[in-house]
Structure formats: C-alpha cells, structure tokens
Structure 1
Amino acid sequence: MNDHMFVETLIISSSFFAIAVILVASVLFLERKG
C-alpha cells in the first residue's frame, strides 16, 4: 500500500507549515528586538 499522492501532499503541507512557522518566528524576533 504505497500512496504516493498522500506522501507528496504531506511533504508539501509540512514544508509550507515549516516556512510559515519560520516567518512568524522571525517577525516576532524582529518586533521584540526593535
């Protein structure tokens, strides 16, 4: 049972979530630093 589409969607969503977390963390860091 190798669901390639599910794995691909999971990788895309997880990478998008990671990018969003990094953006929010950097914005919070800059606001706290400024």
Structure 2
Amino acid sequence: MQALSAKYTESESRVPSLPLPERQGRIRPTRSRPRP
C-alpha cells in the first residue's frame, strides 16, 4: 500500500481537497461549450 500512498501524496501536494472536482471542472466546460 506504499505505492498508493506515494501517488496520493503527489496528487494531494497539488490538489489536497480537489482531486475529483478538478477533473470534472475541465470536462464540464468542454462538454458545456462544444466547439463548432
């Protein structure tokens, strides 16, 4: 379970409490604003 801890530590270093919302925030605007 150390490999997972290392991955989480790197992700938490940048997004401590926004790991999933950050991903959806990028997909939401792309789907809401489709380029013609």
Q: Looking at secondary structure, tell me which structure has more helix per residue.
A: 1
Q: Same fold by TM (over 0.5)? A: no
What TM-score do the two structures reach when normalised by structure 1?
Answer: 0.44
* Structure with higher RCO (Cα < 8 A, 6+ apart): 2
Larger Rg: 1
